[in-house]
Amino acid sequence: MKVHEYQARELMQQAGIPVPPCEVVDSGDQVATAWERIGAETVVVKAQVHAGGRGKAGYVKLVNSPTEAQEHAARMLREPMVSKQTGPDGIQVRKVLLAAAVDIAKEYYLGVVLDRARRVPVMMASAEGGVEIEEVAEKNPDAIKKAWFHPHLGLQRFQAVQLAGEIGLRGDQAKTATKMMLQLARLFNQKDCTLAEINPLVETKDGQLLAIDAKFNFDDNALFRHPDVEGMFDPSEENPAELRAKEFNLSYIALDGNIGCLVNGAGLAMSTMDIIKLHGGEPANFLDVGGSVTAEGAVEAFRIILADARVKAVLVNIFGGIAKCDVIADALIKAAKEVGFKVPVVVRLEGTNVDKAREMLKEANIDGMHTANDLTDAAKKVCAFV
């Protein structure tokens, strides 16, 4: 799960990491009051969305008056933000953060992620923080210093001291940075984060160190341990089809192709996508209806797939084990009645109760439905339709 920057700031504050004063607004009208509360001469206006690259997209703006702040806030709330990390249509901004601007002398980077290869968390620090960090990582990876640490023991003070030195910090600043790294690593562990990143960590002209942007992601499977974090969930940032699928216990992920897939089992779903690609097609989604799927769940799955305008054909691939073929056949018949098959639907059923299922489908004689003998036959047929 992702959270917004303003929520990440709350968590940092609780952890003792210094952040400049800020206010969140969801309309231009609230800007004047927010401005007063912040009480700074220069303020930065920042779109709150679950995507980075805001600075480069024009959605982080330094302003010197409440009127200017209001104009930018209103624009951000009106026009979808398009950045490197969004699609070409961009994403709608629903909240804007106003924060006291700081006089920046230098921008650093601090981040904790899981190193999956080494199977431990790693603290990363760089003296080349800011909006170009992705490029630094790609072209000059040595500029990112790393310290791997034990998941239970946490980052050790000597490691943080060493990192602070490696990114060129001395004296009091090195002490402060050491403390911040320890706080960030502790936060990462305590809240079951998969990412805890401060970028930039700013050195101000008067020598202070402040976190002015942060990105935190959390392990969904551990959310039950953190009701405070779970409460930060913002459904408006999620793909609506994926949210609906979740309600019905369906694992659905939208992809870019035009062949909708309805499959039981994650492994079978992966191989179904592979075989579609092998025959020259592109899957429009990953969809695992699971073993305990009900007819209602399967009908909902059809609704989600068929609601996607890019879908030009559907491949139903069911290997009946715990999930029974007749339940899927029943769902197919119901879905055909309820939503109608505007695009061809190729069906491959095998396993538990398959004979009963075939009979049901034969009797129903659904318009737009095509049966396949095996998986290769099914993949060829569905690819020929698009």
Q: What are the residues binding ligand ADP (CB under 6 A)?
A: 20, 44, 46, 52-55, 60, 99, 101-102, 104, 107, 130-131, 199-200, 212-213
Closer CB to ligand ADP, residue 97 or residue 306?
97
Distance CA 9, CA 195 (A): 14
Residues in 62-91 at the binding interface with Mg ion, rule: CB under 5 A? none
129 vs 283 by CB, closer to Mg ion? 129
Asked if 199 touches Mg ion (CB under 5 A), the answer is yes
Using CB under 5 A as the binding rule, whether residue 107 contacts Mg ion is answered as: no
CA distance 379 to 264: 16
Find, among 177, 170, 195, the residue nearest to 108 by Cα.
Answer: 177
In whole angstroms, how close is the CB of 54 to ligand ADP at the nearest point?
3
- The alpha carbons of the chain give a radius of gyration, in whole angstroms, of 26
No. of helices (H) and no. of strands (E), the chain: 14, 16
**Residue 311, contacted partner among Mg ion, ligand ADP, none, CB below 5-8 A by kind:** none
Q: Cβ of residue 215: shortest distance to ligand ADP, in angstroms?
A: 8
Give CA separation, 304 vs 247, 301, 318, 349, 381, in Å. 12, 5, 17, 20, 22
Please enumerate in sequence order all residues whose Cβ is within 8 A of that of 53, keeping only pairs 6 or more positions apart, or say none: 83, 84, 85, 86, 131
Residues of span 114-133 touching Mg ion by CB under 5 A: none
Q: How far is the CB of 60 from Mg ion (least distance, A)?
A: 8
- Identity of the residue, 4 or 54, whose beta carbon is nearer to ligand ADP in the bound complex: 54
Give, for 262, the enclosing helix (H) or strand (E). Answer: strand 259-263
Element (H, E) at 298: helix 295-307
Decide if residue 213 touches Mg ion (CB under 5 A).
yes
Q: How far is the CB of 195 from Mg ion (least distance, A)?
A: 13
Q: Which residues 6+ apart lie within 8 Å of 176 measured at CB?
A: 209
Distance of closest approach, residue 116 Cβ to ligand ADP, in angstroms:
24
- For the CA atoms of 11, 143, 51, 214, the dihedral, rounded to the nearest 10 degrees, stands at 10
**Footprint on residues 131-190 left by Mg ion (CB under 5 A):** none
Among Mg ion, ligand ADP, none, the one that 28 touches (CB under a kind-dependent 5 to 8 A) is none
Minimum CB–partner distance for residue 166 and ligand ADP (Å): 21
Question: Among all residues, which ones are annotated catalytic?
Answer: 109, 197
Which does residue 104 touch among Mg ion, ligand ADP, none (CB within 5 to 8 A, set by kind)? ligand ADP
Check: CB of residue 134 under 8 Å from CB of residue 114.
no
Residue 335 contacts residue 298 (beta carbons within 8 Å): yes
Q: Which does 99 bind (CB under 5 to 8 A by kind): ligand ADP, Mg ion, none?
A: ligand ADP
Given the complex with ligand ADP, which of 130 and 260 has the nearer CB atom?
130
# residues contacting Mg ion (CB under 5 A): 2
Residue 298 and residue 345 in contact, taking contact as beta carbons nearer than 8 Å? no
> For ligand ADP, which is the closer residue by CB, 41 or 374?
41
Binding residues vs Mg ion (CB under 5 A) = 199, 213
